[in-house]
């Protein structure tokens, strides 16, 4: 299967759609009667004055989620190929994203992190463009607004503000105006939210938006033991990807090196920001799927020993399907 997606053949879009559906059949068989969908934070609930949480049936919920995942995979693939991050065009980033987005059951339904991944792809496109821009103050302003919009949907997204500033350090010589532009862009969205609070006589509650940011980082994370089993092939492929990237790191163009440095930082910050939510949910780690998909695509594009990498990918797919059909 990997060899098929190594080529930049448009017919692969059809196979991506088939795979996105097949990786959700197991969940649909055991789907609950109701699936909740919340795509805005409680403090932004006033902006959506309708009851939508259970408006979709489980089947429609999963089907729409699969469609959004497919669109995101194709957008991500286009960004990767546009900036030539892997060295040559392929559909491997899209394949890896669709695979990783089915890793855990909470990934399969509509959620705020899933919607936010559209913003993540948009952010990455603008961040990768920082290297070539002469005056990026407007880009910084846009990035600040994107982070603010993501924060309305999913509060942990606020920590991606750090990613924007770190990207300015990586890609740009220091210019305080560019840093301030990011702050102004972020403040613009929340200024209008404050106005909305004022018009609804709730301005006194506006400060409560930021209270979760003071939550202590947890000492441990408790997830289903069987989920750890699925992480084994993921961690193994991560290690192989890091090794492959390290081998060719200094042979790559400067922009490519800086881009992968940014992806690593993005992965770490997005992953560690989960603690802001009072109730920990695995769907948070969908935010990490995009940088992982790019690095996995890099490994599988240049991996040697077909029997090895095809078997490795098959084991990952088999594990995903097995744990969907066996809920224990």
Q: Which of 22, 8, 146, 165 is nearest to 80 (CA)?
A: 8
Please report the pLDDT score of residue 17 as a whole number: 94
Please report the pLDDT score of residue 24 as a whole number: 87
* 199, burial (CB in 10 Å: exposed 0-12, middle 13-18, buried 19+): exposed
Averaged pLDDT of the chain: 86
Distance CA 239, CA 242 (A): 5
Residue 328 has pLDDT above 50, yes or no: no
> Do the Cβ atoms of 101 and 107 come closer than 8 Å?
yes
Helical segments of the chain, H only: 2-6, 12-22, 25-29, 58-82, 92-100, 112-129, 137-153, 160-171, 176-199, 225-248, 254-272, 289-302, 306-325
DSSP structural state of residue 88:
S
Tokens of 202: 């709730």
Backbone angles phi, psi at 52, to 5 degrees: -125, -10
* % of the chain beyond a pLDDT of 90: 40
Tokens of 302: 């240049």
pLDDT tens string 239-294: 998 888 887 766 667 778 889 999 999 999 998 888 776 666 788 899 999 999 99
* Residue extents of the structural domains in the chain: 2-325
pLDDT tens string 175-232: 889 899 999 999 999 899 888 888 888 877 777 777 777 666 665 556 666 667 888 8
């Amino acid at each position: 299967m990997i060899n098929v997606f190594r080529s930049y053949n448009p017919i692969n879009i059809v196979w991506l759609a088939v795979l996105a559906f097949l990786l959700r059949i197991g969940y649909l068989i055991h789907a609950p009667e109701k699936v909740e969908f919340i795509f805005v934070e409680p403090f932004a609930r006033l902006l959506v004055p309708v009851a939508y949480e259970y408006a979709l049936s489980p089947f429609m919920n999963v089907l729409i989620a699969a469609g959004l995942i497919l669109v995101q995979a194709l957008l991500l693939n286009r960004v990767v190929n546009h900036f030539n991050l892997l060295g040559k065009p392929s559909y491997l980033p899209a394949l890896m994203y669709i695979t990783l987005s089915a890793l855990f059951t909470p990934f399969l339904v509509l959620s705020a992190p899933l919607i936010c991944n559209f913003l993540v792809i948009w952010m990455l496109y603008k961040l990768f463009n920082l290297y070539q821009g002469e005056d990026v103050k407007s880009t910084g302003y846009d990035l600040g607004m994107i982070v603010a919009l993501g924060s309305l949907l999913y509060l942990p997204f606020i920590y991606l503000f750090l990613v924007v500033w770190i990207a300015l350090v990586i890609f740009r010589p220091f210019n305080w105006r560019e840093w301030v532009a990011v702050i102004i862009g972020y403040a613009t969205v929340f200024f209008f939210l404050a106005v909305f609070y004022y018009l609804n006589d709730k301005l006194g509650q506006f400060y409560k938006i930021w209270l979760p940011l003071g939550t202590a980082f947890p000492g441990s994370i408790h997830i289903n033991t069987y989920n750890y089993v699925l992480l084994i092939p993921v961690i193994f492929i991560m290690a192989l990807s890091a090794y492959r990237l390290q081998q060719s790191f200094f042979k790559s163009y400067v922009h490519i090196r800086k881009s992968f440095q940014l992806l690593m930082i993005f992965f770490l910050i997005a992953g560690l920001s989960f603690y802001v939510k009072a109730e920990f949910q695995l769907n948070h780690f969908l935010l990490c799927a995009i940088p992982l998909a790019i690095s996995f695509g890099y490994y599988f594009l240049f991996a040697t020993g077909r029997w090895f990498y095809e078997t490795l990918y098959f084991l990952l797919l088999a594990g995903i399907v097995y744990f969907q059909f066996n809920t224990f």
